[in-house]
Amino acid sequence: MEILFGTDGIRGPANSGSMTPACILKLATAAAHHGMQKHFDSHGDHRFTIVIGKDTRLSGYMVESALVSGFVSMGADVILLGPLPTPGVAMLTRSLRAQMGVMISASHNPFQDNGIKFFGPDGCKISRADEQVIEQLTTTSIPLANCLKIGKAKRLDDAAGRYIEFAKATFPRGQRLDGLKIVVDCAHGATYKVAPKVLWELGADIIPVGVDPNGENINLNCGATSPALLQQTVLSHQADLGIALDGDGDRLLMVDENGHILDGDQLLGLIATLWLKRGLLQGNGIVGTVMSNLGLERYLHSQGLTLHRSSVGDRFVLERMQTEDCNVGGEQSGHIILRDYVTTGDGLIAALQILSLLKNSNQRISEIAHVFQPVPQILKNIKTSYPVNLLSHPIQQAINHAEQQLHPHGRLLVRPSGTEPLLRIMAQGDDKPLLDKVIGELVAACSQ
């Protein structure tokens, strides 16, 4: 059986492999069949309902059409949301009382790729167990609906407006952003309409960039994965800060007035500190991942807080947050989950919380946001055309030797990417020359 799902849904080159219309059609019938068995009372009067959102990739039309065909052929009704950030799809899945939500996006990947993420009726990404059932079902023959029970598809014209009002409702009532000049980079992606409108309606003076999608420029030299444009624009406009989102709007990166980058770890540290002071922080800590910087862990410890680490992926972050009863969690990459409001990473809502804290402080963002000194961290990606056997003796020997060299003042992580054909090697610690040496040895061992 082919493994379709990675760290964050299904992802790959559009119109190739698992992302062809034929494969997507099988996937849709399998997902609808499983969803109906798990979440649907066939004896009721209501219809099984699925909402679909997408980002701005050219291939989104093809993927959307294939999904709709599969879903309605199973007797499900479909509500099309159009371009909308991933957290907006999660929110509207709950709000519309749908049994399933689908986001068509390859997130931070280039436009040539596309992907599919599934949400359950609670707005949370489906479990790995559900993904495995759907994978199995794609290889079986599934009976389609009777011709009298074929589903319908319709478009929700005010989907963006609903998300805008939801996002604004997370901002303190009565507070405004007047007096702040903000650059917002939407990566020519799913937030290109909603993010500037939210910030403008709350009173900010905004300079929008990355808001002219053409189907092929999503994430291209812009957005959270390419912050140089944001840094340059903040400095040239003498803005107070900059906000960068990625293609589907579930991750956030910020830039202070001096052009210095604030990654997810710094933003998590800032939110944790100020929520602790305001009595809002739950679980006496936050959730990060195995990639989170040691500097963040040490800083939180100095504040009497714990950094709980999960596997990479905001689904795993949320699961750990639920286990530890934490309401703040996220990744160094900028996926930030504020469980009081959302069930998945939401770059815009995380940015609004930081902007609220900034307004309350009456300080520049550079004065409050660099809450800890990160330790040196090196991430090396090795392109692979075949699965690397991390359990092979030479590689295990190299990994063990690297861990011994870093202990006790460093950390090592070697893992295959769940979204791209890459092997990721990360090392962090106080001794930068040692990190370079360790990474070099591991790259050589894994490349043989």
Q: What residues act catalytically?
A: 107
Three-class DSSP category at 206: strand
Secondary element (H or E) of residue 163:
helix 159-169
Instruction: Report the distance separating Cα 307 and Cα 408, nearest Å.
Output: 18
> Is-cis flag, bond preceding 408, omega within 30?
yes
Token pair for residue 256? 């202070």
Q: Which of 233, 207, 236, 261 is nearest to 369 (CA)?
A: 261
- Spatial separation of the C-alpha atoms in residues 77 and 157, rounded to whole Å: 16
What's the gap between Cα 17 and its chain centre?
Answer: 23
Rounded-to-integer distance, Cα 274 and Cα 80, Å = 38
Q: Number of C-alpha atoms within 13 angstroms, CB side, residue 297? A: 17
If we measure between CA atoms, which residue out of 123, 49, 134 comes closest to residue 343? 123
Query: What's CA 244's distance to the chain center, in Å?
Result: 13
What six digits make up the tokens of 193? Answer: 């309409």
SS3 of residue 125 by DSSP:
strand
Nearest to 199 by CA among 248, 253, 241, 259: 241
SS3 state of residue 102: strand
User: Which among 293, 294, 222 is positioned nearest to 264, based on CA atoms?
Assistant: 293
Q: How far is CA 351 from CA 241, 264, 268, 311, 368, in A?
A: 11, 11, 11, 24, 14
Q: How far is CA 253 from CA 219, 288, 399, in A?
A: 13, 16, 31
> Do residues 333 and 345 touch, judged by C-beta distance below 8 A?
no
Neighbours of 385 (CB within 10 A): 5
Q: Decide: 346 and 337 in contact? Cβ < 8 Å.
A: yes
- Helix 128-137 × helix 21-39 angle, to 10°: 120
